[in-house]
Structures are given as C-alpha cells and as structure tokens.
A and B are shown apart, each in its own frame.
Chain A
Amino acid sequence: MEWLIASVIAVMTGCGVYLTLRARTFPVVLGLTMLAYAVNVFLFAMGRLQVGFPAVIDPAAAGYTDPLPQALVLTAIVIAFGMTAFLIVLALKARSELGNDHVDGLHRSEDERKATRHNTKTDSERSES
C-alpha cells in the first residue's frame, strides 16, 4: 500500500512540476493546484497510513490515527484554494492588462508553434473588440 501511495504522490508532483514550468498562465495554475494536492497528500501521509482508526475520541476505538497532520492539511487545503483563486484572478488581470496569457506578458513567444486555428480567431476577435 505504501508503495502505491508514494507512487501517487510522485506522479502528482512530477505532473505538477511539469505544468508549472509551462509558458501560459492556465497550465501554470493547474500545475500549482496539482502540486498542492501532492503536498497535501504527502503531509497527510507523514502520519503514516491508517485504515479504520478514527481521530475521534471513542472508548470503543481500538486505536487512533495521528490527528496532527490532518489538522495541518485541513487548513492547507483551504489555503491552497485561496491561492488558486488568487492566481487565476491574477491570470485574468494579466490578460486584461497585457492582452495575452503568456506568463511573461509576451504577445506570442517566439518559441511557440504557430497558433492553432482557434487561437488565430480569438486573437483577431480580440483586436476587433
């Protein structure tokens, strides 16, 4: 089981890092969200994996899971949401101010392939509006 969870954390980290390194804002936001999942699961797993042990005081319970990582991760999830929201709005603001969604505010980066059909249209529509 531990192998499985470690692999899950690893895959989410790798995917998150890769997306964070992309050139457009939306994939970067997705990447950071993914990284947040990975970090949360990682922190949670620091309390070791427990099946069937509650974190609620109960005289009938056979044992308890570690409640501390849970408490930490609970707030981390909410903060991660706040950060994602902040980032995506920042991306919107950047697009509105700079006219594009490249992380550096470039209209079209030279190392990107020629835009697809849809993007060409979006750009022309934008210039009309």
Chain B
Amino acid sequence: MSLLSFNLPLAALLPFFAAPFAAWATRYNRLASAWVAGITTLLTLALLFPSMAFVFAGETIIQQWSWLPSIGFNIAFRIDGLALLFALLILLIGLLVIIYARYYLSAKDSMGRFYAYMLMFMGSMLGIVLSENLLQLVVFWELTSITSFLLISYWQHRQDARQGARMALAVTGGGGLALLGGVLLLGHIVGSYQLTDVLASGDLIKGHDLYLPTLVLILLGVFTKSAQFPFHFWLPHAMAAPTPVSAYLHSATMVKAGIFLLARFFPALSGTPEWVWLVSSAGLITLLLGAYVALFKHDLKGLLAYSTLSHLGLITLLFGFSSELALVAAIFHIINHATFKGSLFMVAGIIDHESGTRDMRKLNGLFKMMPHTAVLAMIAAAAMAGVPLLNGFLSKEMFFEQAISASGTPLAIWTIPALVTLAAIFSVAYSLRFIHDVFFNGEPIDLPKTPHEPPRFMKIPVDILVVLCLLVGVAPMYLISPILTVAVASSLQTAAPEFSLAIWHGFNIPLLMSFIALVLGVAVYTVRHRLFAWNEKGLHSLDGKAVFDWLLWKTIRLSKKVTDAFDQTTLQPAVTWVIGGALVLGIITFFQFNSPLIGDRVMMEADVITLLMSLILIVASLLTVILHHKRLVALIAIGVVGLIVALGFVKFSAPDLALTQLSVEVVTIVLLLLALFFLPQHTPQERSYIRFTRDGVISVSAAVSVFFLAMAVLSRDYSPISGFFIDNAKPGGGGTNVVNVILVDFRGFDTLGEIAVLALAGLCIFAMLEGLKLFAPTKDVDGLVWSHDPHPPIMQTLTRLLFPLMLMVAVFIFLRGHNLPGGGFIAGLIASVALISQYLANGIDWTNERLRIDMHRVIWIGLLIATLTGVVSMFIGYPFLTTAFTYLTWPIVGKFEVASAIAFDLGVFLVVVGATVMILVELGKLSHASHHIKQEEVN
C-alpha cells in the first residue's frame, strides 16, 4: 500500500490530531504550540506533495472506503486541480498566518487555544476541498462553522467577539443545514453522493423537477458562507476576531468555501436562467454594497471587511455569468484576492498592534514611523484597486471583459458594465483611503502607543504575499498559468478554454473602464468629506444586524411561549405531557388494530403459589403508592416488589435473571437507604385535587393499556429468532449457557456499550458527590436519636467470616457463567455485595485501610480488557469481538474449554464491581463526612 492510496484523508485529519498537541504543548513553552502548528502545516503539505505530479498531469485521484453503503455514505476523498489549488491556498496562507500570529498574540492570550482552533479550522477547510463524498463534505462544512465560531470568539471576554461569533455561527450554520438539504436532494436526483457521479449528470440535474429547490438550498449554503447579500451582515461583525483570524478566514479560507462550492458544482448546476439570475444578482448587489460601504468605514478592519464583501461579490458575479472564461477570471481572482487581502489584513493587524488603534480618523502620517510596512501596504492596496503591473489588475481586466461580453440583451448592454465600473471606482477610492489616510494626511491624533516597525518576522509573511502580488502581476504566464489551467479544467470537467494572461491586451474597453475607475476613484476620494457628511445622514442606519437581532429575539420569544405553554417551566406538567403523549399514540394504535385483541394461543393454568405471589406483589405495589409519604415504609414495600420479580424469574425458567435481579435488589435498597438518610423522611401531601384526578386517570389508563398490550402479545404464538442462538451457542460461541453466550459473544458490542454506560453513571455520581456536604439529621422521624454505634459486633464478625465465602461464590458464578447460569454481571454484583457489606459492617476507614484499591482504576481496567478482547480479534482478521475458544486437557482437571469470551466477561465483571462499589462507597463517605461535621459542631 503506497502513500498515494491514503494520503488525502491523512492530510485532512492530521491537523485535527495535532490540535490537542498544540494545546498541550503550550504548558511547557509558550511558543511550542506555534511550532506544533507550523510543523503540522508543513507535514500536511508534504503529504499532499506526492499527488501533485498526477494533478498537474490532469488526473483526478480518488481514495475511498465504504462505510454506510446502504445510504451511500462512503469515506471518500479526491484531489484534482481545483482541490489542489484551494488546498495550497489553505496551507500556504495558513502557514504565513501561523508565523504572523506568533508575534501578534500578546502574553495574556492563550497560544495553545489559538493554535488548536486554528489547526482544527485548517483541517475542516481541507476536508471540504478534498471531499469526494458530498455528505462528508457537508460534515466538514459544518465543522468550519463551529471552528470559525471558536476562532472569532477567541477573545471570550469581549462582548462584541461573543456576539459576532454567535451571529456567524447562526448564519453559516443555518446555511449549512440548507446545504445539507440541497445535497440530499442532489443525491436523490443523481442516485449517488459521489462528486464524480454528480458532476457527470449535469443535464439530468438541470432537467429534473427538483432542480430549483436543490439550487436554492445549495445557494443558501454558499451565500451564507461567502457572505453574499442578503446574508452579508455577519462578516463585518466577525471582525471582532484577532487579526490573524480575520486574515485567514476572510482572505483565503472560510468565505472562500462558498465560492469553492460554486466552482465545484459549476458543471452540475450552472448555465440555467435560474442560476444566472440568482447568482449574478446576489453577486452584483454584494459587489456594489461592499464597495460603497467600505469607503465610509473609519475602522481599518471594517474597511477591509466590506472590501472583502465586495470582492466576494465580484467573484460570485463572475460565476453567475456562467461562461467558461468567466470561470477562469473567477478562479484567478480567488488567488489574487487571497494574496492581497491576506497581506492587507496583516498590515491592519500590525498597525493596530503597534499604534493601539484601528481608527483612521486618528491614524495619520504613519509613513515616517513604519516605512517598510507602509510600502507593503501600498503595493497590496494598489493590487486591490487594480493598478497595472499587479495581480489585481489582471483579474479585474478579465472581469471587465466578461462583464461586457455577458451583457447580451440590449437593455443590459450598458447597465452591467456601468455598475461594475461604479464598484471599481469605489474600490479605488477606499484603497486610496487605506493608504493616504493612514500613512500620510498629516500627523497622528493622540494614539495610545507610539508606532514603530514591528518585529522582523511579523513582516515576513506580509513580504512574501506582497512579492507574490508583484510577481503574479508582472509574470502571470509562468507563475499562475499551470495551476490555473488544471484548476479550471477540473472545475469545468472538460479541457480548460484558451485564455491569455498577458499584461497588455492593447487599447480596448476593459482598459478604458480601468482608466475611468482609477481617475474617478481618485476624484471620489478627494471629495470624501462631503460624501461622509451625506452618508451620516442617509444610508448610515442600514444594518442587517438589527434585522437579525430582531428575528432572533422574536424566534426566542416564540419558542419560549410554546415551551411555557407545555411544561409551565415545571417538571410535573412536562412529565405529564411525555407520558400522556405516549399513551395517546399507543391507544390510537390499538384502535387501528383489526384482528381480535386476545389471540388464540393455549394459555397456562395458574397455580396457587403464583397466584399468591402475584397478589402479594400487587398489594406491595399499591402500598408503595399509598404509603409513599412515609418514605422508609415505601422503600420496604418496593423491596418486596423487587424480590417477587426475582422469584418470578426463577419460576419462568430464567435463573440468570433471578440471580441478577436478586443482587441488584440488595444493592439498590442499600443505596436508597443511604440516600434517604439525607432526604426528608416524609413527603408532604399535595393539595391539588385536579392533579390527583389527572394523575390517577393517566396511571390507570397506562395500566389498562399495558395490560391489553401484554395480553395481546402473550396470547399469540410467534416465531423467535432465538433458534439461531440456541443452535450456535455451543459450536460457535463455545458455551452452553445461551444467555451468557449472547451477552459476551453474539451481542458483545451491546454489552460493551452497556458497561460503558454503567461506568459513566459511576463516574458522574462520583463527580456529583465530590465536595458535597449535606445536613445529616441527628434524630429520626419519630424524634429518636440515631445510634452513635454504627458497627454492631455481631454483624462485624459475621461479615468478616462470610467475606471469603462470598468472594468464592462470586468466582464460582463467574467461572461457570459460560456454561451454566452465572457470568460477569451476576458475579460482579455478588462481589460488590460482599465488598459493600464490609463497608457497612466495619466502616469506611477500616475497610479502606485493608482494601487499597482505587475503584476508578478497576473501572478503566475493566473497560480496557473488554475492548482489547474485541480488538485482538480484529487483528487476527475477524470482526470486532469475535470469540475464539479451544479445549485443553490437564491432568486431574481433565478436558476443559478456554474461551476468549471469558476475558470479555472479566471486563464486564470489573466494571460492574468498580461502578457499584464506587457509587455506594462514595455515598457512604458522604454520611461519613457529614457525621464528622456534626461531631465538630457538638464539640
């Protein structure tokens, strides 16, 4: 098996595995987590490296494993040109951001948390771009929503960070749900969730009745993620994140995920009028809105945020044009935007970091203090404005060209180019503002810090990105052409169209548009003060956040109203609804039942003893209810019920159950008695007769329904599936006690789950009782003082004598379990009873001194043994938890059987002992602690 058969999933998952290490490394060295993150990124790049040659040769590599074939869910990864381009953007810009963030974060910020989130986010993004299975893609998509939430809210103490993160999560998470719906529809139409199949069935999808809903749902996912109008409002509020996060999320990754999906689904969904209208109008509006608002933002990052919106709108608009060359321009602009916007965010971060503010009304004339940074910012901003010889110019020219050629209809002939030029004018104006307002324009106004150049390594990532902007701008053919060609080809699923990346195309209309944009952009900037004043009056108040907050508030109020109407915020009505609802549903089903209620199976004659026992059980149950105000009496009554249930199991051929029930009964009663000591001894009477009547009616109808249900089943014959278990218990499982063989072998996975639940219950109880102090009463219900002699000698002596005997019984029951009634569960319970009786009779101190075993350890060793038994069989090539057994012949003992199931049963035994003893001893300790308090108080 070569690396090329599994490097893709490894690359997507490696950051997730590294994340805990990044968090953990920071304990030893503050900078260690940055190293972990950086090295992980390099390793991931190295993992993808072997695939690159194939991708550049135009191949698509798919690596897949079948997981849930019945619903079409495979674990499947793919890499082609488009995926490689995005993976490189994610990893390379990620690497630069990791270096940059190491200098950006202050000593107060937790490095470990930052880099752990960062790595998880990187892994999620890689998962999206490398997914072949669409359901898997949606999973990673949601993961980016969650991890970006964590990143945006990194400064948890800040309210704006929390609100911004919550809004981003609500919008993008909601969009993710829509995307899931869209993908499910797509899978329904195509009959497969594999991307290869979906991309090959473009005509089928576009001709299908469900095309429009599918498209709308997928576009909802895209527009929310890529912040397209009308879902754009979350992005500016996400600027509350640390600047490295903004630089990463809003240049190369998070918001590009939506764009990526447009490129990915291009052959499957694009080209229809619906696509053109929906995608282009969202793109165009976002392009204009972002460019316009960006000019008026006084916050550096706010300006960049709206400019990001505008550029995302530009890319979306290009996809909306639906032509092959527009796709080339779109993908080219994705690369360019990632480089110049990434560097500009980093510059904004440097300015904020060094001067203490991001307000452009205060920041002026910084050129003298940080000339190096200023030059970098100028080049990047010029690229953003589309100045010739920079990368932004090239893609913008291509964009203009497409805008002209796409405007086919006479009406639109001048509309789209005009609007696009308008956006470009604003783009020039705000780029100019970013430079002129910050680095020139007079002297700074009361800055919190005196700015100076940042540390060298903080600038290096910016250096690299800016140099890239320049190089791509000067020599696009050599740098970008190869990757762009394969990316476009894999996005189109055909050969890439002819395109020219030359700097000079001669005098044409796009060049004229660029020229107009540059000249008018400068002009707009010079009259900006008048525009600011005008803007303050008018459009200023237009904010999507207000609408969002209003909607959120309304939704919360509605859901609260509904909830309150049902449960009135108290438990009793809530339980009534649950039980009543189940009853109504059950009773409805009864009435839909057509055959006679009671079947024709020959019933058994009742014998006198069973009749008597049942009567006692019924009386004891009723007594539990009638006397439940006297809690101790009720407890005794319910004990009787449990015992008779155990006897019933004996009568009806279930010795295993009888043994289990009996030992559980003992443990439960001891437990409830211990707890009762700390609870009031009486339950106050409830007054509401309405409630009595209601509860009475519900209980009686539950009883009647259950009676008929049981009768309907018991009076009919059936064909059980147990024949298989009985036939195979001995030859397949190596044991004659079928119940035990089912537990440890046939249904061993269930049992593993069940002991895990028991272990969890034990641990939760331990956690809840930790540090709990309860008032321990000195007198009982009747005012009698509790005895201070807790350990009567007769009981002490007896239990000590019985202890080895009880343990021996437990071992006996355990060993014979596979062949005769018994097994790990029962033996575990018996051993627990043996241990607990020692604690009860001799006290916790005495017993702990002699029994130095930590029950936590017993639990985890038990779970480990049970799991390992299963894993071992996997290594030998059998499914998880397959039993192996063999026969040995020893002298004297004779021939006997050894089954690996006994190891599993040992695990069960240990977990049961560990959990049970821990629960009871912790509860016992509580009374111990409380007694001590009382003693101290008395003294």
Contacts and interface: CB of A to CB of B under 8 A. Distances in A.
**A pairs with B:** yes
A68 B657 contact: no
A21 B624 contact: no
A78 B686 contact: no
A70 B725 CA distance: 12
A33 B664 CA distance: 12
B648 interface: yes
B684 A37 contact: no
Contacts of A49: 604, 652, 714
B668 A33 contact: yes
Interface string B701-715: 011101100110111
A116 B819 contact: no
Contacts of B427: none
B372 interface: no
Interface in A80-129: 80-86, 88-93, 95-96, 101, 103-104, 108-109, 111-113, 115-116, 118-119, 122, 125-126, 129
A25 B685 CA distance: 13
Given A18-B695, A30-B624, A55-B738, A83 B761 contact: yes
Interface residues of A, number: 94
Nearest to A111: B688
Contact of A58 (B667, B685, B736, B915): B736
Contacts of A17: 579, 695, 698-699, 702-703
B653 A53 contact: yes
B653 A93 contact: no
B672 to A, nearest CB: 6
A30 B761 contact: no
Given A67-B739, A81-B664, A21 B683 contact: no
B713 A45 contact: yes
Nearest to A108: B684
Given A56-B820, A68-B720, A7 B707 contact: yes
Interface in A37-65: 37-38, 40-42, 44-58, 64-65
B739 A19 contact: no
Contacts of B769: 89, 92-93
B687 A88 contact: no
A8 B730 CA distance: 35
B163 interface: no
Nearest to A83: B761
B336 to A, nearest CB: 58
B905 interface: no
A8 B651 CA distance: 15
B736 A82 contact: no
A71 B707 contact: no
A112 B625 contact: no
Given A11-B703, A50-B653, A56-B737, A5 B710 contact: yes
Contact of A19 (B628, B704, B715): B628
Contacts of A125: 775, 777
Given A33-B638, A44-B657, A85 B679 contact: no
A6 B773 contact: no
B729 A57 contact: yes
A89 B682 contact: no
B710 A65 contact: no
Contacts of B655: 54
Nearest to A10: B707
Given A15-B699, A86-B764, A6 B711 contact: yes
Nearest to A6: B710
A111 B758 CA distance: 37
Contact of A115 (B684, B707, B714): B684
B695 A21 contact: yes
Nearest to A53: B653
A19 B743 contact: no
Interface string B560-575: 0000000001111001
Nearest to B604: A1
Given A67-B722, A82-B757, A95-B678, A73 B657 contact: yes
Contact of A82 (B657, B698, B915): B915
A84 B606 contact: no
Interface string A1-40: 1111111111111110111111111110110011001101
B668 A7 contact: no
B110 interface: no
B634 A27 contact: yes
A24 B825 CA distance: 32
Nearest to A88: B675
A14 B695 CA distance: 10
Contact of A118 (B699, B726, B772, B781): B781
B703 A82 contact: no
Interface string B252-264: 0000000000000
Contact of A13 (B607, B706, B764, B773): B706
Contacts of A92: 675, 678-679, 768-769, 772, 774, 923, 926
Given A49-B652, A74-B743, A122 B680 contact: yes
Contacts of B772: 92-93, 96
Contacts of A41: 645, 648
A85 B919 contact: yes
B656 to A, nearest CB: 6
B912 to A, nearest CB: 7
Contacts of B681: 118, 122
A18 B819 CA distance: 41
Nearest to B578: A20
Contacts of A118: 680-682, 781
A45 B575 CA distance: 27
Interface string B527-544: 000000000000000000
A6 B712 CA distance: 10
A57 B691 contact: no
A122 to B, nearest CB: 5
Interface stretch (B144-152, B501-509, B613-621): B613-621
12 contacts: A6-B710, A7-B618, A14-B700, A15-B624, A18-B698, A25-B679, A57-B729, A78-B754, A82-B758, A85-B668, A91-B679, A126-B775
Interface of B: 569-572, 575-576, 579, 603-607, 610-611, 614, 617-618, 621-622, 624-625, 628, 631, 634-635, 638, 641-642, 645, 648-649, 651-657, 660-661, 664, 667-668, 671-672, 675-676, 678-688, 691, 695-696, 698-700, 702-704, 706-707, 710-711, 713-715, 718, 720-722, 725-726, 729-730, 736-739, 742-743, 747, 750-751, 754, 757-758, 761-762, 764-765, 768-769, 772-775, 777, 781, 819-821, 825, 829, 912, 915-916, 919, 923, 926, 937
Q: Which 4 A-B pairs have the closest CB atoms?
A: A14-B703, A10-B707, A82-B761, A1-B604
